[in-house]
């Protein structure tokens, strides 16, 4: 077990009708002018935005709105938000949406109080010194951005998708009402659930030894997620399943599951390039690449993949041939993805990259040779090309 720091100060307000508390929480932060940041029109049509606007008015808090965030949120809208915040003297960003809206909100929060180009942070050219406070009303259980340090933005100029993390970006509060997720399309529920699971799986597949406690927490989270995602395929308005999934989504990515260990995150990097090039749903993209990643790397630690197979997927251990158990665990995971209608390869994802495109993605993922991807097995460009090829289906 490694030394670590863990700091997760986001106040979570969870349950039915909790969105009505939003304005009170903004006020408690001492802020006066809010940027209400959101995505498409569903938040307005459902009445959610209206309720939040009413609650802001009731507390006497001024606000301006900026909608239009799309999946794989764009840098150009971030620039627009920064401009707007500066012009209007905004001192609080309220993100109403899922990971894309929150990530966009975080980028605006940094950019509004920094002199440099906000993209420089994502390019790791410089570090932000401050950020406006961000609050969240979550509408999809997926990214975990509501309590995390992270933000992922796509630069249209070259379709580069890059992530950045800083404690400055942890939201002040996260309002989570599972009921708000009732009307999500099935595909988004499943894709979000896959994302949640992958946040924990990336941490689970580690080479760090003696991490029993976080192993047990990870395994419990994954089993619960699979159980309730399957329920939601048939019964999307099941409050308790929506609630388990939503809360697990935050805990999966707030840092607890990585304490004392080094996560992998290769699958995320592999998917980021896909998302940048083909604009696929993030979770579905992860499902499409994970099995190929797993088969490419499992020999580096058969024991860990066998543990996953037994403790998470419920396989019986083959003590004479642990490798068989390890591979069975990967197969069962694919079966699970199919059960929730997620792809297990690029073909099922609806993407058919050319060899040149695979070369380009592998190139971008390794920052043109400036870095390796992943920690379970550090992957170079050639490894990534093979994994993309395996994932074609």
Residue 213 as a binder of other proteins (CB under 8 A): the answer is yes
Site stretch for other proteins (CB under 8 A), options 33-41, 84-92, 206-214, 276-284: 206-214
Phi/psi zone of residue 58: left (φ > 0), alpha (ψ -120 to 50 degrees), beta? alpha
Which of the stretches 205-213, 264-272, 287-295, 335-343 binds other proteins when contact is defined by CB under 8 A?
A: 205-213
4 binds other proteins (CB under 8 A): yes
13 binds other proteins (CB under 8 A): yes
Residue 42 to residue 52: CA distance in whole angstroms: 14
Find out whether 111 and 83 touch, Cβ atoms under 8 Å: no
Total site size for other proteins, rule CB under 8 A? 41
Can you tell me which of 14, 182, 187, 367 binds other proteins, judged by CB under 8 A? 14
The first and second tokens of residue 14, run together, are: 């969870």
Applying CB under 8 A, the span of 7-15, 44-52, 55-63, 326-334 interacting with other proteins comes to 7-15
**What residues numbered 244-273 form the site for other proteins, per CB under 8 A?**
244, 247-248, 251, 256, 259-260
Judged by beta carbon, residue 209 or residue 352, the one nearer other proteins is: 209
Binding other proteins by CB under 8 A: which of 127, 156, 235, 240? 240
Cβ proximity to other proteins: between 74 and 261 the closer is 261
Helical H segments across 205-299, by residue range: 212-234, 239-251, 266-278, 282-297
**Per CB under 8 A, does 101 bind other proteins?**
no
Question: Is residue 217 near other proteins by the rule CB under 8 A?
Answer: yes
What are the Cα distances from residue 123, in Å, to 101, 144, 159, 312?
Answer: 20, 22, 13, 36
Give the long-range contacts of residues 29-32, CB within 8 A, separation 24 or more: 29/92, 29/133, 29/135, 29/172, 31/61, 31/91, 31/92, 31/133, 32/61, 32/62, 32/91, 32/92
Q: How far is the CB of 306 from other proteins (least distance, A)?
A: 18
Q: Is 212 in the site for other proteins (CB under 8 A)?
A: yes
- Least Å from the CB of residue 47 to other proteins: 20
Q: Is 15 an interacting residue with respect to other proteins (CB under 8 A)?
A: yes
Separation CA 225–CA 241 (nearest Å): 9
Report how far residue 192's alpha carbon sits from residue 155's, in angstroms, rounded to the nearest whole number: 23
Within 340-371, residue ranges assigned H as helices are 346-349, 355-365
Tokens of 241: 């399943």
268's CB contacts (< 8 A; 6+ apart) are 198, 202, 286
Query: Binding residue for other proteins (CB under 8 A) from 239, 279, 357, 367?
Result: 239
Site residues (vs other proteins, CB under 8 A): 1-16, 18, 209-210, 212-213, 215-217, 219-221, 223-224, 227-228, 239-240, 243-244, 247-248, 251, 256, 259-260
């Amino acid at each position: 077990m490694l030394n670590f720091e863990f700091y997760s100060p986001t106040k979570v307000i969870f349950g039915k009708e909790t969105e009505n508390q939003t304005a009170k929480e903004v006020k408690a932060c001492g802020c006066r002018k809010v940027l209400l940041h959101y995505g498409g029109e569903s938040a307005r049509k459902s009445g959610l935005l209206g309720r939040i606007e009413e609650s802001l008015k009731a507390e006497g808090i001024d606000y301006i709105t900026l909608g239009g965030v799309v999946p794989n949120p764009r840098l150009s809208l971030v620039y627009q938000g920064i401009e707007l915040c500066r012009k209007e003297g905004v001192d609080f960003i309220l993100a109403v949406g899922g990971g894309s809206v929150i990530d966009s909100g975080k980028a605006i929060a940094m950019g509004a109080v920094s002199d440099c180009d906000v993209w420089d942070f994502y390019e790791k050219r410089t570090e932000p010194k401050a950020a406006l406070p961000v609050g969240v009303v979550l509408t999809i259980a997926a990214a975990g951005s509501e309590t995390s340090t992270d933000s992922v933005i796509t630069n249209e100029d070259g379709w580069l998708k890059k992530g950045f993390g800083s404690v400055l970006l942890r939201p002040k509060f996260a309002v989570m009402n599972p009921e708000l997720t009732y009307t999500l399309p099935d595909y988004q529920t499943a894709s979000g659930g896959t994302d949640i699971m992958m946040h924990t799986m990336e941490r689970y597949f580690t080479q760090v030894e003696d991490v029993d406690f976080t192993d047990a927490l990870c395994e419990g989270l994954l089993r619960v997620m699979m159980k309730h995602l399957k329920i939601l395929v048939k019964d999307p308005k099941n409050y308790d399943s929506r609630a388990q999934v939503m809360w697990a989504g935050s805990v999966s990515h707030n840092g607890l599951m990585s304490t004392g260990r080094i996560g992998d995150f290769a699958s995320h990097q592999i998917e980021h390039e896909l998302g940048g090039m083909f604009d696929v749903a993030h979770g579905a993209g992860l499902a499409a690449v994970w099995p190929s990643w797993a088969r490419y790397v499992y020999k580096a630690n058969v024991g860990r993949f066998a543990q996953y197979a037994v403790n998470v997927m419920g396989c019986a251990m083959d003590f004479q041939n642990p490798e068989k158990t390890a591979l069975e665990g990967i197969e069962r995971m694919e079966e699970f993805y199919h059960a929730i209608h997620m792809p297990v390869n690029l073909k099922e994802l609806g993407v058919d990259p050319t060899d040149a495109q695979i070369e380009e993605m592998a190139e971008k993922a390794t920052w043109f040779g400036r870095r390796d991807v992943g920690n379970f097995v550090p992957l170079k460009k050639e490894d990534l090309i093979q994994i993309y090829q395996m994932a074609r289906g």
